[in-house]
Amino acid sequence: MSLPANPVTGSPRPHANGPSAIIGVSLKMYFGYERTLDWCRDVARIASAHPAVRSGDIELFALPAHPVLPECARILSADGAAAGAQDIFWEDEGAFTGEVSGKMVAETGGRYAEVGHAERRRIFGEDDDVIGLKTAAAYRNGLTPVLCVGEPGRGTAADAIKHCIREIDGVLNRAESLARAGRTIVAYEPQWAIGAPEPASPEYISEVITGLDAHLRSREGQADSRVIYGGSAGPGLISQLGPAVTGLFLGRFAHNPAAVKDILDETAARLGLLEPAGGRA
C-alpha cells in the first residue's frame, strides 16, 4: 500500500486519521556511516513487512547523524517510515559555521527535528529560549519538532509534571512568538533515567505523561500533538504503560533492529492490531 506524500519533503505521511502510536529512534553518535545505513535497511525491511506501520497506525521514524540523513530518509520513506535530524540551527541560512538549518534538513528528506535533549542542555548550555528558536525553525520548515523535556532528579510525579510543563510552555511560547504552531511530539525523558539500566516505573511514567499530554493538547494549535516516553525505553515497556502514553522514543535499546520489531509488535498488540506473543489470554 502506498502512502500519500508529505508536501514539504515528499516522504510518506501517516494514516489519514493520524497515527495511533509513535515510535522514534535517535541513533545519537553511536554508529558510523555504513553501519547507520545497514541499520536503516534492516529497519526498512521490518517496516515494509509490518501492517501497522504500512497502514500508518504506527508512526515510525529515526534520527541519524546529519551526513547520513539524505540516504536514510530515502531508504526509510520507501517503506512507510521516515527520518529526521538530531538537531537544527535556528536560522535558515547565513554565516553560521558548522551548523545545519531546518531548511536543509527538509530539503534532504527529513521530516523531524529533535530539540532540547538533556545532552544539548548540559553539554552545550542550551536553554528554553534557544530551544524555542529551534522549535520555531522546525515549524517554519515543515518539520515536526521532537521536543525533549524531563526533570533532572528523581522525585514525585507531581513535581515532574510541574517541571516539564514549565519547559514545554517556555519553549512553545518562544517558538509561537516567531512561527505558527504546528504538530509537536514531546519526548518525556526524565534526566535521571537517561542511560540508566532501567526506565522509570510504568506507574510513574503513565502518571507524568497523562498530565503532560492533557496540558500539551490544551494549548492552541497543539490538539494533534502527543507525548511519548524516552529514557532507557526498550522492549517490554509499552505494554505496561497507560493509555495516555502513545509511544516511545528509543536510544541504545533499539540498536538491534530485532528489538525495533519487538517494540512495533508490542505496540500493535496494545492497539489490538496484532496478537501478542503466545496469543491472547
Q: Are 209 and 229 in contact (CB under 8 A)?
A: yes
* Torsion of Cα atoms, 133 then 137 then 140 then 143, to 10°: -130
Which residue, chain included where needed, has cell 515510535?
23
71 is catalytic: no
Q: Give the whole-angstrom CA distance, residue 243 versus residue 271.
A: 10
189 is catalytic: yes
Catalytic residue among 114, 176, 189, 207: 189
Hey, is 74 helix, strand or coil? Answer: helix
Q: Are 8 and 141 in contact (CB under 8 A)?
A: yes
Let me know if 31 is exposed, middle or buried by CB neighbors in 10 A (0-12, 13-18, 19+): middle
* Torsion of Cα atoms, 46 then 52 then 58 then 63, to 10°: 10
Which residue, chain included where needed, has cell 502527543?
226
Q: Which residues, 6+ apart, have CB-to-CB distance to 49 below 8 Å?
A: none
Which residue, chain included where needed, has cell 506507574?
203
Catalytic residue among 50, 59, 117, 207: 117
Catalytically annotated residues? 117, 189
